[in-house]
Amino acid sequence: MKLSVVIPTHNEADSLVETVETLTARLRAVQIPHEIVVVDDHSTDASAQVIARLVEADGNVRYVVNEGRRGYGYAVRAGLDVYSGDVVVIVMADLSDSPRDIVSYYRLLEQGFDCAFGTRFMPGAEVRGYPPFKLLLNRLANLAIRVLFRHGYNDTTNACKAYRREVIDNIQPLVSAHFNLTVEMPLKAAVRGYTYAIIPISWRNRRSGESKLRINEMGSRYLFIILYVFLEHHLSRGDYVRSDRSEGHLARRPRPWQYGDGDEREHAYPRRQREPAP
């Protein structure tokens, strides 16, 4: 099962090399077949030259240019148009995501889940350097999403998630242009009947560069996507639910499996340990 890692980047030249090299080293160490798809989202720093050097040094690294409008969502969608793996994970270019968690996601998809979602807010998670005001907004937004969708996931806005190819194919068309894509993809997967596992992950705030998330610009965009998927779920009468579940679209969605669950899912997917440190 080949893993594709899509890394959108806008002016992240200072962290790109370490992001890619630490990730590829981890994937090689555990012998996961992979490709790294780095998408340059209209960078004005030295990102293009850095990516070119990474491609030259490692045949598993691919360089993709976002030819469309600038924006995180556009960049990720450009990567999803060209990736070649059986499964795909979205990773930030700022070193905030842990390569160990990428391996853990892959193992969950190997076990049969359609998606693997990480949360920074459950026992076993590790969070370093989260700005307090952004943290407050994050918890309020995720609480609202959880109340609306009752999907059992408390960190929907987290960017780093993994999906099988069939999920990506069947949550199209993706319409988000910016960071609201982080919400559109998992919510569509959930309401369209795909299974997902939730595990604690590690996250640290960036050490260089500046965040591309502009809170004052994103509120209405997040709300648009949340309402869009909410209305699809309640008004489309199952038209977009995966084909093997569409006849029973009014039945309860598959219950997510969470790290530490003791229910019947544990027998089908035995309780896993997080990917160990090297």
Q: How confident is the model at residue 32 (pLDDT cuts 50, 70, 90)?
A: very high
- The DSSP code for 35 is E
Mean pLDDT of all residues in 213-233: 84
State residue 244's pLDDT score. 73
Distance of CA 277 to the CA centre of its chain: 22
State residue 127's pLDDT score. 95
Count CB neighbours of 222 within 10 A. 22
* 96-153 per-position pLDDT tens digit: 999 999 999 999 999 999 999 999 999 999 999 999 999 999 999 999 999 999 999 9
* 139-176 per-position pLDDT tens digit: 999 999 999 999 999 999 999 999 999 999 999 999 99
- What average pLDDT does the structure give for the chain? 88
Does the pLDDT at position 178 exceed 90?
Answer: yes
Q: Could you give phi then psi for residue 127, rounded to 5 degrees?
A: -130, 130
Amino acid in the structure at residue 76? V
From residue 235, alpha-carbon distances to 184, 250, 252, 263 in Å are 17, 11, 16, 31
Domains and CATH numbers, the chain: 3-268 (3.90.550.10)
Count CB neighbours of 229 within 10 A. 25
* 263-274 per-position pLDDT tens digit: 433 323 333 344
Q: How confident is the model at residue 29 (pLDDT cuts 50, 70, 90)?
A: very high
State residue 207's pLDDT score. 76
Return the structure tokens found at 259. Answer: 């790290």
Residue tagged 């370093």 (tokens): 128
Q: Does the pTM of the predicted model rise above 0.85?
A: yes
CA angle 86, 88, 90 (to 5 degrees): 175
State residue 116's pLDDT score. 98
State residue 256's pLDDT score. 72
Does the pLDDT at position 262 exceed 80?
Answer: no
Beta strands, E only, 83-239: 87-90, 115-119, 126-128, 161-164, 196-200, 202-204
The answer to whether the beta carbons of residues 199 and 259 sit under 8 Å apart is yes
CA dihedral 28, 29, 31, 32 (to 10 degrees): -60
Does the pLDDT at position 276 exceed 90?
Answer: no
State residue 253's pLDDT score. 52
As a residue count, the chain comes to 278
Mean pLDDT of all residues in 75-80: 98
